[in-house]
Structure 1
Amino acid sequence: MPVTKCPRKSEPLWKWWDWKAQKNGLRHQVYAVNGDHYVGEWKDNLKHGKGTQIWKKTGAIYEGDWKFGKQDGYGTLSLPDPKTGKYKRLYSGWWKGGKKSGYGIQFFGSKDYYEGEWCANQRNGWGRMYFSNGDIYEGQWWKNKPEGEGMLRLKNGNRYEGYWERGMKNGHGHFFHLDHGQLFEGFWVDDVAKCGTMIDFGRDEAPEPTQFPIPKVEILDPDGVLKEALAMFMKSEEEAN
């Protein structure tokens, strides 16, 4: 008997169009409905590899690595200056899942900027913050605030070294008043020194030393009570051995 074959059905045109629309590899100027556009590499219809994205609403531009549709790897985010129109770098560093994660530099203004570790768009880990007034904080961060051990160096050279909590001095620390040649060691609660001791520290080299030095406090023992007690303790130790 003759063998008959069924004629092959032709694929609908929409499948062909859909296949043609799938983005893989390098593409030029792919526009979204809202006006955003992207130039770069794709994989399975998602931004993947090296690419540049420009957001129409804000004018922001991202140049760097992508992974499955999100910023992932190293990249730079810039914003246009409202006065000049020129682009200014906002952040340069590492990303993960579309958020700043890893080491990076963030610019908050013309002179304020942070360099250090990030996690999920927040300053977390070790980092250094430069303020426009000349102050510098270097130390540990948690949820965008100094937390843990850190040092704040003021513009005039004075500095605090100690513990922080919720962005404020909390716990044991040292404050070096180098302009007056003094050192305060004590305990802080919410940026307020609660108790401690103040001593002269480099008073001879200080640019603005205090009028009078801090007197040294000596514990007097005219009756020799402490000396006698120590001698008795040593004697008892020797007899025990």
Structure 2
Amino acid sequence: MDFSLPPPASYFQYKEMKIPRLPVLFSPTPSRRTQSIVKNCDSRFILSNSIDEPVLSSEIRKSNSPRKPRNLKSLNIESPVVDELNLAIKYIISNKPRISKSPLRKATLYSVHFAKNNEETDVNGFVQALFTHEPSPYRKIGLTSEPEALDIRAAEKILQDAKKIIKHGVAKKTVHLEKATLIEEFWKSQISKEKTERWDIFEEGLLTFFDNYMVCNYGSLRKLNWKKLFSKLYSKISIESDDISMWPMSPSRLKPPKYSVRVVKFTTFANFIANSELHKVMLGCIEEIPFYIENLRKGTNYAFSCGCYYKGEWKDGRKEGSGTMDFCSGEQYIGNFNRGFREDYGTLIGNNYIYKGDFKKDKFHGYGKMKFPDRSVYEGLWVKNDMSNGKYDIGDGTVYVGEWYMSTYEGKGKLILSDGTRKKGMWKGGRLCGEGTVKYPDSTVIRGFFVDDVLQGEQVDTQDKEED
């Protein structure tokens, strides 16, 4: 008897021979999975007659191709089940649920109330983020106000304090810090070092801080009309004042013209914030249409709420570079700016004053020439709006060349009067005080010690000539 095994047959040969084979587990295809469900079998596996039975490509459903809906009758389900399903579907279609109008009205009221709560939350969070150093979603990440540079004295004091801490320890060092509020800190770092400041400087500082350090397009803040906000702030916290003047006093004691400008005081601003008035004003400026803060300064022009108008270059939200500033008080400045201040060379015109020269932080500082309304002219050095050392021509032939203090002759200088008299020496309060020399038109020279323009111990020398 031959016990050798026949050669392996193909799938079609097995099918023709009809040889019984043991069933094996095989992962189901979509069509077979459906058949297994109908036959009350486990949907995870089905029984196959051969382990090498090929899976036809037509039985595999591609993920991209849409699946065709199957007819219930094609599943060989009994007709009573199909009839019950069809009746249920018809009932659902014919009996649609009806929704009354009252739930819709309640939902609308709830949405309006929820929107108001969102506006109050956004405004409160925004105002709190203004005067804190803590992280906040209303404050830009990684941006903080730039610390100011220390002068030599402050740096030396910090160095000495550090040496004391290293030598004696932290416990022996007593630090007495000023109890400055966060509002004061904000005012000094972003607005001004002065307690009272012009409105255009206040508005520029506040707008720059909003634009550079705050998130102004978050939530309900996108609909806040920032132009309207500054207009309301202008009407609520600015006051008329005639204490601020751009011009110095003339040496001829001609006082600069008085004119009223709108200013903001720190006390007014602090009370406005402490009484939560800023919250109310901001809530009143929220509108239906989005208003982005970037739209306030399009291009190079900007109109302040007080009436000042600027046209020129900007950098980081502040005036920087060449530009022209028309002030609401009537003056016009044409020249350079640096971080919002008049800086370097420029020309300031207004109220019969004309200045051409150097500026530093909005003040006359450096070399410049000033023409006063009484037609007198000063040309020389300036230090923080005060004449320091230069030539002053009154216009009637009287000329002074020398040092100045508070618009008066003080220090070493020489005065030439209109009649030809020359006075030379040390001056104080506009008079000779100290060693000095007086030369009259007839060549008479007086030398000696003067007090209030009076010679102490007269000394006359008609032969000596004064050196010019």
TM-score by length of 1: 0.68
- Spell out, residue by residue over 1:8-28, the C-alpha distance to the aligned partner (whole angstroms, 9 max, x if none): xx96545981234456xx603
Q: Which structure has the larger Rg?
A: 2
> Could you tell me which of 186, 191, 198 is aligned with 2:460?
198
- 8 Å contact 2:409–2:431 — kept in the other structure? yes
* Contact residue 139 and residue 146 of structure 1 kept, 8 A: yes
1:140 counterpart = 2:403: yes
| 1:67 counterpart (338, 348, 353) | 338
Q: Does the 8 A contact of 1:76 with 1:89 survive in 2? A: no
Q: CA RMSD in A?
A: 2.3
Q: 2:349 aligns with which of 73, 78, 82?
A: 78
Q: Give the alignment partner of residue 413 of structure 2, picking from 130, 137, 150.
A: 150
The corresponding residue for 1:18 is: 293
Do the aligned residues in 1 keep the contact of 2:433 with 2:451 (CA within 8 Å)? Answer: yes
Distance 2:408 2:374 in 1: 21
In 1, the alpha carbon distance for the partners of 2:361 and 2:367 equals 15
Equivalents in 1 of 2:458, 2:426: separation in Å?
15
Q: Is it true that 1:113 corresponds to 2:377 in the alignment?
A: yes
C-alpha deviation, 1:116, in angstroms: 0.7
Give 1:40 shift.
0.5
Q: Secondary structure at the match of 1:19?
A: helix
Q: Distance in 2 between matches of 1:91 and 1:155?
A: 25
**Cα distance in 2 between the residues matched to 1:19 and 1:111:** 46
Q: Structure 2 CA distance, aligned partners of 1:39 and 1:190?
A: 51
Secondary structure in structure 1 of the residue aligned to 2:365: strand
State the match for 2:323 in structure 1.
51
Amino acid at match of 1:36: C
Aligned AA for 1:174? T
Give the Cα separation in 1 of the matches to 2:457 and 2:398: 25
Match of 2:434 among 162, 166, 171: 171
Structure 1 or 2: more helix by fraction? 2
Partner of 1:208: none
Please report the TM-score for the alignment, with normalisation by the length of structure 2: 0.36
SS in 2 for 1:196: coil
Q: Match of 1:164, as an amino acid? A: W
* Mean Cα deviation higher: 138-147 or 62-71: 138-147
C-alpha distance in structure 1 between counterparts of 2:320 and 2:444, whole Å = 58
1:133 Cα offset (Å) = 2.5
**In structure 2, distance between residues paired with 1:20 and 1:35:** 18
Q: Which residue number in structure 1 is paired with residue 425 of structure 2? A: 162
Equivalent of residue 36 in structure 1, options 305, 308, 315: 308
1:101 aligns to what?
365
Number of residues paired by the alignment?
181
The one-letter code of the counterpart of 2:311 is V
Conserved 8 A contact 1:111-1:131: yes
CA offset at residue 89 of structure 1? Answer: 5.1
Measure, in 2, the Cα distance between the counterparts of 1:77 and 1:51.
Answer: 12
CA deviations over 1:157-189 (Å, ceiling 9, x no partner):
220111111222100111011x22211111111
Counting strand residues as a fraction of each chain, which structure ranks higher?
1
The one-letter code of the counterpart of 2:454 is V
Q: Is the 8 A contact 1:146 1:165 kept in 2?
A: yes
Q: Which stretches of structure 1, 4 residues or longer, exceed 6 Å deviation after superposition? A: none
- Partner residue of 1:127? 390
Q: 2: CA distance between counterparts of 1:168 and 1:20?
A: 58
> What letter is aligned with 2:361?
G
Unpaired runs of 5+ in structure 2?
A: 1-216, 224-289
Q: Are the counterparts in 1 of residues 333 and 347 from structure 2 also a CA contact under 8 Å?
A: yes
How far apart in 2 are the matches of 1:76 and 1:22?
Answer: 25
SS of the residue corresponding to residue 114 of structure 1 reads strand
Q: Which one-letter code corresponds to 1:129 in the other structure?
A: Y
What whole-Å deviation, never above 9, does each CA across 1:97-142 have from its counterpart, x for those lacking one? 1111001111113531111111111112x21111133100001122
Report how far residue 59 of structure 1 moved.
1.2
Q: Distance in 2 between matches of 1:11 and 1:117?
A: 50
Amino acid at match of 1:96: K
Q: Which amino acid aligns with 1:185?
A: R
